[in-house]
Chains A and B, each alone.
Chain A
Amino acid sequence: MSWWETLRTGAAAIRARRMRSVLTVLGIVIGISSVILTVGLGQGAQQQVKDQIDALGSNLLIVSPGSSTDSSGMRGGFGSASTLTLADAAAIGDGTAAPDVAAVAPTTSTMLSLVNGETNWTSTVVGTTTAWPDVRTRVLGSGRFFSEAEVAEAAPVAVLGPDTASELFGGQDPTGGTVTVGGATVTVIGVLEASGASASGTSEDDLVVLPIGTAKAITGATDDSVSTIYVEAAGEGTLSAAYQEVEAMLLTRHGVAASDADFSISTQESLVATANETNRTMTVLLAGVAGISLLVGGIGVMNIMLVSVTERIREIGLRKALGATPAVIRRQFLVEASLLGLSGGVLGVLIGVVGAQVLPGLIDQPVSLSALATLAALGTALALGVGFGVYPASRAARLTPIDALRSE
């Protein structure tokens, strides 16, 4: 009996029990589509994070204070958040000790309430220097950024993020208007262009940028510590050189060994890696759950095939009496189980693909499908059918024709 004949017989047997076959396949359909969608969601989230971090600016080093706390707790009282200073930033930007550094933007960052007339809004208030738009690759949508002179004299001027501007001023152009930031009144001199990175966590488009002195005055900070120093390397090729120069300089300035550095430097790459680590854990977890449902679907196929063997015991006996060898019977039931698995896989992939188109609109999360994952899902469905079909098929093959024929 040829494979083609076996395939036709199997398809006929599945068609003859239409309702049951559909229900059996449903388990596989749900399993496959949820695997495809969870993996797609995970990959979509990873892509999103990567885009966001790319949008931070190219060739960027991010220097943060106090990553490592001494095991003896010696630095504890000093406060880990104030180990970086404006002087550190100035030294990095000096150009002599760190020739591969193109620009430096020391920043402070606080959440403060903003008031414009009757409108209240809470946003991130960033204090920085004139290099910030360059280093963060941000462009002004209207107005201008503040000047060196305004930074030097801590002028009461502000540049708003586009979201902040629309929250506080509605549709009107805020340039020239005033905003009360944490009690102090500042004049709006410009609005940033949207960064392009979509909203997740803190928005890159909802912020107020002030000269660093102005920000410090508003928050009442008397020291010259900063929360982050953004460093732009001269080029992509010099990123690691810049990294080493900045690290060496800060170690020297702080008088500490590399092993207990009181700051940390991250690159875009390391940020992406960290973010992906988290995402991958989630993806693996979700895909694991989906995989379990797939397994349950496979057990469903086995269950139905066993029922089918019992139910068709006389048919098996007759086929054997008419000349079907055990191998032919085994193949017939294997093909039936594989057809169930495969059709479940195809349906599951279809639902997954449709879901990947529909879902992003509903839950505001991108879903990226990969051809590899889809093929793997199909392969898994087929393998499930075959794998869970083996036992029922060999049971059918082992039946002796007399027992099978005599059974009522």
Chain B
Amino acid sequence: MTAGTTPIIDIAGVRKTYRSGSIEFEALRGIDMRIDEGEYVAVIGPSGSGKSTLMNLLGCLDLPTEGTYHLAGEDTSTMSEAQLAGVRNRRIGFVFQQFHLLATLPAWRNVELPLVYAGVPRHERRDRAVAALERVGLGDRVDNRPGELSGGQQQRVAVARALVTEPDLVLADEPTGNLDSASTRDVLALLDELHAAGRTIVLITHEHDVADRAARNLVIRDGLITEDHPTSAAGAVR
């Protein structure tokens, strides 16, 4: 990595249009943004503002109708579905609002899933999954299934899963949306910790007090970025 010179996220002129029948809906209407390595950015906006669409594009779960998206220097806008799967696997760690853990698998098996698709050998996967769980403070819950864990613990398992591949970018989509305030504090503290350790984090939320934990806020409204400003937390962490 040539740190500093290549931004992790470089989006230029991105538009996204949804079509259902004869009705066209422009969810993103020309977005430009750059996020550098090690930044902690919150994308904030009300529902319907286009932030979910932006999240899907950032996560390479969807392709823009127009414009380009370079993720760590790679142009993803022209990739095939299989190539995008590879990019997601290598570069992005997802944390979802609904946790999205597989109920039939114990915690460490959930965490090792990205490594399975990355083709990491079996014995190495278990070690790395356990290490990731230890890092989020769940070293003693390795063999528990999601149903045996609290909501906050489940989300920490999901964070461990997002970390296990050492991705360039952690993408958290309303990670505290389904959590009580204590668990919310836990998970946000964990994200702070990851940021302090130098990881790039993009957090998508509609809650201002959650967004305030990030160093930089991007406000999105009606498919456009209307504000881009550092927060009070900016100085504190750096």
Max chain A Cβ within 10 angstroms of own Cβ: one of B61, B104, B113 = B61
**Chain B neighbourhood of A323, CB < 8 A:** 85-86, 88-90, 114, 117-118
Known: A322-B94, A322-B117, A405-B100. A400 touches B86 (CB 8 A): no
Contact check, B86 vs A318: say whether CB atoms are below 8 A apart. Answer: no
Interface of chain A: mostly helix, strand, loop or mixed: helix
Q: Kindly state the interface size class of chain B when it binds its partner.
A: 20 to 34
A154 at the interface (CB under 8 A from B): no
Within A3-17, the residues touching B (CB, 8 Å) are: 5, 12, 16
Give complex CA distance A126, B117 in Å: 82
Q: A322-B89, A402-B61 are in contact. Are A1 and B102 (CB under 8 A)?
A: no
> Which of A175-183, A260-268, A325-333, A362-370 lies at the interface?
A325-333
CA distance A317 to B32 in the complex (A): 28
User: Which listed residue, A2, A5, A319, A401, touches B61 by the CB 8 Å rule?
Assistant: A401
Name the residue on B nearest A401 (C-beta).
B61
For B161, list chain A residues within 8 Å (CB): 322
Out of A12, A317, A322, A401, name the residue touching B113 (CB < 8 Å).
Answer: A322
Contact B119 A402 (CB under 8 A): no
Q: Which residues of A lie under 8 Å from residue B113 when comparing CB positions? A: 318-319, 322
| Distance of A315 Cα from B101 Cα, bound (Å) | 8
Closest beta carbon of chain B to A186's beta carbon, Å = 84
Is B189 located at the chain interface by the 8 A CB criterion? no
Residues on the A chain within 8 Å of B118, using CB: 323
Chain B's closest residue to A318 (CB) is B100
Residues of chain A in range 268-321 having any CB-CB distance to chain B below 8 Å: 314-315, 317-321
State A36–B94 Cα separation when bound (angstroms): 52
Q: Which residues of B contact A12 (CB under 8 A)?
A: 104
Are B82 and A322 within 8 A (Cβ)? no
Evaluate whether A1 and B114 lie within 8 angstroms (CB atoms) in the complex, with A16-B104, A326-B82, A400-B62 already known.
no
Contact indicator B81/A326 (Cβ below 8 Å): yes
Give the number of chain A interface residues (Cβ < 8 Å): 23
Instruction: Decide if the interface of chain B is mainly helix, strand, loop or mixed.
Output: helix
What is the CB-to-nearest-CB distance from A14 to chain B, in angstroms, rounded to a whole number? 12
Q: Indicate with 1 or 0, residue by residue over A354-393, a CB within 8 angstroms of chain B CB atoms.
A: 0000000000000000000000000000000000000000
CB under 8 Å from chain A, chain B span 110-144 = 113-114, 116-119
Asked, given contacts A5-B116, A400-B62, A401-B61, whether A320 binds B85 with beta carbons under 8 Å apart, the answer is yes
Asked if B50 is at the interface of the complex by the 8 Å CB criterion, the answer is no
CB neighbours of A326 from chain B (8 A): 81-82, 85
**Complex-state Cα separation, A320 to B81, whole angstroms:** 10
Q: Is B69 located at the chain interface by the 8 A CB criterion? A: no
8 A Cβ contacts from B139-181 to A: 161
Further pairs besides A318-B102, A405-B100: 11, Cβ < 8 Å: A2-B119, A12-B104, A16-B104, A314-B100, A319-B113, A322-B161, A323-B117, A325-B82, A328-B117, A400-B61, A405-B61
Chain A residues in contact with chain B, CB under 8 A? 1-2, 5, 12, 16, 314-315, 317-328, 400-402, 405
Query: Could you pull out 16 A-B pairs where Cβ atoms are within 8 angstroms?
Result: A1-B119, A2-B119, A314-B100, A317-B100, A318-B113, A321-B59, A322-B88, A322-B117, A323-B86, A324-B85, A325-B82, A325-B86, A325-B117, A327-B82, A402-B62, A405-B61
- The 9 A-B pairs with the shortest beta carbon distances in the complex, nearest first, are A323-B89, A323-B117, A325-B82, A325-B85, A322-B114, A318-B100, A401-B61, A16-B104, A402-B61
